[in-house]
Structure 1
Amino acid sequence: MRILILTTCLLLGVLGTKAQEEPEYRMEIGAGAGAQSYVGDLDANLLRGQNAMAGVVAKYKPNPRTAWAANLRFGKLDGSSSNAETVYPVLNGEAWNFKTKTVDFDVTFEYNFWPYGTGQEYHGARPFTPFIALGMGLTFANADVTGLDNFKKSSTGFQMPFGIGVKYKVANRLNLSAEWLMHFTGTDKLDGLADPYGIKSSGLFKNTDCYSTLQLSLTYDLWTKCKTCMNDDD
């Protein structure tokens, strides 16, 4: 009986040591797809005008609690003055419709509510966690407008994405995440209609256009953390 107990303890010790020797990865790389929608002068409804978007994502993970995520997305926005709750003087009662192609790049800081991982590379890590994200980036937009005089208008503006998400370990090196972000931009030209009341736009919040993104991403772990650092908590 004593031999059985001693053998069991030794096996548990070996398995525990082996679990902590599983590699911890610093990087993730993959792709995402989802929907994005316009929020601005012509429409404040987040659920209206959903358009497909897709992109690539890379993440650097300093520790199981945090990550820096870089996203490059390609998508579309559209809208119409018929959805607006206000009559804009600049339109003179005429219809205004736009379709805008967007390219945006941003870097966000993600904070996980719980340590994220398989639990084999970091003690106490969980394969599922919600997170919050905040960052900065750029948005490039090309609006194709019909109404009044038809024209195309390009614009570039800083953007600040902020939102929430969840991530899940599908396998040891495979991650699935769902993320919703609101992008506050420094431009009022995503819809081609700049300063409809003659109030000059400024910063990221004064009379500027916004858009939201809902993205599902699949990423693969890369870049093994050095073994001499395995016991570090950072």
Structure 2
Amino acid sequence: MKQRLNPILRLVIMTVFMFSSLALLAQEDEEYRMEIGAGVGVTGYLGDFNSSLTSNLQPSATAVMRKTFNPYMGLKAQMGYGKMKGKAADANTYYPQLNGSKYEFDNTLVNVDLSYEYNFWPYGTGREYRGAKPLTPFIAIGLGGTFVKGKEKNVFTANIPIGVGVKYKVAPRVNLGIEWAMHFSLSDELDGIKDPYNIISNGAFKNTDCYHTLQVTLTYSFMPKCRTCHNDRY
């Protein structure tokens, strides 16, 4: 009797172990290598004719693609489109180059940049990476290009974006984010006027125009990583 029970008991234990392993595997979420999505928000000009973060904010939209290296780090490429407005009257400053004229501008802005992102906490559902959090703050820094279309002239220049934000994983494949970024350009002509003080300045960022963006994005994750490769590249 004892010899008959041992094989049966062994079979029961193996069956329970197999189904338990399958259940645990089913509860694990995939890790994904890529994200794609879009966002909406506002853009603000900062330069000779405006020094306030809240003045003349204009609507903007962006397309986003992100390469995820691991739960802490990623590389984000984005392309944004918006408007940039301002006028000399808002500055309450006399500019010799304008000779008292009521200068104002309404330009179109196109921004393309590539940024490195670092999450302060490992980002994920918690079921694909031990200790991962569905909510994490992050910082970003990169390099980009800025194209501004004005009434009289167009400007193309480089910019350095520096941003902070928060990501929230709504679902295993759906990510919600909000980010504020300052774009430091290498040009003083985003507003159409160069050196309105008629003062020669030196240095890459001295007396140059900037703009900031506040964006809410929604992205979709795809390209699952290999679970058994133990390598962030796969």
Instruction: Report the TM range for the smaller structure's normalisation.
Output: 0.7 to 0.9
2:162 alignment partner in structure 1: 162
CA offset digits 1:121-148 (Å, max 9, x no partner): 111111110100101000000123xxxx
Of residues 91, 94, 115, the one that matches 2:101 is: 94
**Does the alignment pair 1:184 with 2:207?**
no
CA offset digits 1:24-52 (Å, max 9, x no partner): 10000011110000000000101000100
**Does the alignment pair 1:30 with 2:52?**
no
Superposition map of 1:123-138 within 5 A:
123-138=130-145
Deviation at 1:198, TM superposition (A): 2.6
Q: Any stretches of 5+ residues in structure 1 without a counterpart?
A: 1-5, 145-151
Q: TM-score, normalised by structure 2?
A: 0.87
Superposition map of 1:203-214 within 5 A:
204-214=204-214
Give the superposed CA RMSD.
Answer: 2.2
Deviation at 1:188, TM superposition (A): 0.8
Distance across 1 between alignment mates of 2:201 and 2:113 = 22
CA distance 1:90–1:35, change in 2 (3 Å): same
CA distance 1:117–1:203, change in 2 (3 Å): farther
2:4 alignment partner in structure 1: none
Q: Which one-letter code corresponds to 1:91 in the other structure?
A: L
Q: Any stretches of 5+ residues in structure 2 without a counterpart?
A: 1-12
CA distance 1:201–1:136, change in 2 (3 Å): farther
* Contact 1:186–1:202 (CA under 8 A) maintained in structure 2: no
CA distance 1:61–1:163, change in 2 (3 Å): same
1:53 alignment partner in structure 2: 60
**Which one is further off, 9-18 or 160-169?**
9-18
Q: TM-score, normalised by structure 1?
A: 0.87
CA offset digits 1:14-72 (Å, max 9, x no partner): 6544444x321000001111000000000010100010010210000000001100010
SS at match of 1:199: coil
Q: How many residues align?
A: 220
Deviation at 1:197, TM superposition (A): 2.0
* Contact 1:159–1:185 (CA under 8 A) maintained in structure 2: yes
Distance across 2 between alignment mates of 1:72 and 1:16 = 40
Structure 1 residue ranges, 4+ long, deviating more than 3 angstroms after superposition: 9-20, 199-204, 231-234
2:174 alignment partner in structure 1: 174
